[in-house]
């Protein structure tokens, strides 16, 4: 479903955020992306949906080239939805209107500018709100909701896009433990019931190991861990989260932890 080949991203100023990453994610997998702050998780996710242009390498999603022609990119943007740590909702719009924003890529320019949605779109939005348990908040302004509720709106917006892949950039980093679990439960049910492929960057290792089927770890932009979640050991995590200063051997260590 997602194929990443020799992907590197160097930002202006010479920061190497992603270094020669090769990764294949299969349909229906639930992959947690782990690593220290600055390890390159967000950059990698953004390269997958075309928000960041890689310096070298290639990404395809469902055989569509992320850096291909603009028509291909438009199609890809429909198939790949993303949710963010800070939710990225339009604060002054209602919850329902925010969810309907997930349909914009299916409308013509006129309809999307005027925010005119079909009955079918509205039905999809109601259904998505029911799935995340927020139908009763449909007509409230988005900024009147708690963080956990706003993230659930973000998920509903992603669902109405009817994507094949859902990328989530630290979706629970700003939430309390109870809200985090609720969001993770919803993501797990979407993965299980809809067969959506999930790639989720996280800082909470326990949650990642509990919910994901596979763990990919980045360190200084390099992929240094790729294992089924149930086989990830304490030593793997210590290695992954070792501060760069702690490990003079890092550069010379040839072997990475793979299944
Ligand atoms: N737009 C940018 N311009 C320049 N450097 C950037 C840019 N975005 C990220 N970086 C740098 O690239 C590196 C990787 O950042 P990235 O945000 O991808 O890491 P991350 O693992 O997602 O971190 P966090 O967990 O803190 O979100 C960091 O050194 C960061 O400072």
Give the residues surrounding ligand 1 with Cβ less than 6 Å away: 11, 13, 15, 17, 35, 37-43
Beta-bridge partners for 120: none
DSSP string, 206-221: HHHHHH-SEEEEEETT
**CA-to-CA dists, residue 104 to 87, 110, 220, angstroms:** 17, 10, 36
Per-residue pLDDT, 69? 73
Looking at ligand 1, which residue's alpha carbon is closest to its atom 29?
38
Ligand 1, atom 28: closest residue by C-alpha: 38
Distance 202 CA to ligand 1 centre (A): 14
Give the mutation target among 7, 41, 241 for probing the ligand 1 site: most ligand atoms within 8 A of CB. Answer: 41
Question: Which is the closest atom of ligand 1 to the Cα of 42?
Answer: 22
Q: Which residue has the tokens 């309390």?
A: 176
Of ligand 1's listed atoms, the one at least distance from the Cα of 203 is 25
Mean pLDDT per 10-residue section of the chain, whose length is 259 residues: 96 95 97 96 95 94 83 84 93 94 73 69 95 96 96 96 96 94 96 96 96 97 96 94 64 52
Residue 103's Cβ-side half-sphere holds a number of Cα atoms within 13 Å equal to 25
**Alpha carbon distance 58, 97 (integer Å):** 35
Tell me, what's the ipTM? 0.97
Alpha-carbon torsion, ordered 78, 191, 151, 105, to 10 deg: 10
At 16 the pLDDT is: 96
Calculate how far, in angstroms, residue 131's C-alpha sits from the geometric centre of ligand 1.
33
Question: How far does residue 40's CA lie from ligand 1's centre (Å)?
Answer: 6
Predicted local confidence at residue 117, as pLDDT: 78
How close is the Cα of 168 to the center of ligand 1, in Å?
A: 16
Ligand 1, atom 31: nearest CA belongs to which residue?
Answer: 38
DSSP the chain: -EEEEEEEEE-TTS-EEEEEEEEEE-TT-EEEEE-STTSSHHHHHHHHTTSS--SEEEEEETTEETTS-HHHHHHHHHHEEEEETT----TTSBHHHHHHGGGGGGS-HHHHHTT---HHHHHHHHHHHHHTT-GGGTTSBGGGS-HHHHHHHHHHHHHHT--SEEEEESTTTTS-HHHHHHHHHHHHHHHHHH--EEEEE-S-HHHHHHH-SEEEEEETTEEEEEEEGGG--HHHHHHHH--GGG-TTGGG----EE-
What confidence score (pLDDT) does residue 156 get? 97
Both structure tokens of 88: 């990225």
pTM of the model: 0.90
């Amino acid at each position: 479903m997602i194929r990443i080949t020799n992907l590197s991203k160097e930002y202006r100023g010479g920061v190497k955020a992603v270094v020669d990453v090769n990764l294949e994610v299969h349909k229906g997998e639930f992959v947690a992306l782990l690593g220290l702050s600055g390890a390159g998780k967000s950059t990698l996710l953004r390269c997958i949906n075309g928000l960041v242009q890689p310096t070298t390498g290639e990404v395809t999603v469902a055989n569509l080239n992320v850096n291909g022609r603009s028509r291909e990119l438009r199609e890809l943007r429909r198939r790949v939805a993303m949710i963010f740590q800070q939710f990225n909702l339009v604060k002054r719009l209602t919850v329902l209107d925010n969810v309907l924003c997930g349909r914009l890529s299916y409308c013509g320019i006129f309809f999307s500018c005027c925010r005119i949605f079909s009955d079918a779109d509205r039905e999809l939005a109601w259904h998505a709100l029911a799935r995340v348990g927020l139908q009763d908040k449909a007509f409230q302004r988005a900024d009147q909701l708690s963080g956990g509720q706003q993230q659930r709106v973000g998920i509903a917006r992603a669902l109405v896009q009817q994507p094949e892949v859902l990328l989530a950039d630290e979706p629970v980093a700003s939430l309390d433990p109870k809200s985090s679990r609720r969001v993770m439960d919803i993501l797990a049910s979407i993965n299980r019931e809809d067969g959506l492929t999930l790639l989720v960057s996280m800082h909470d290792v326990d949650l990642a190991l509990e919910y994901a089927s596979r763990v990919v770890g980045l360190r200084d932009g390099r992929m240094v861990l790729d294992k089924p979640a149930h086989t990830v050991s304490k030593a793997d995590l210590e290695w992954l989260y070792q501060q760069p200063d702690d490990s003079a051997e890092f550069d010379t260590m040839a072997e990475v932890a793979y299944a």
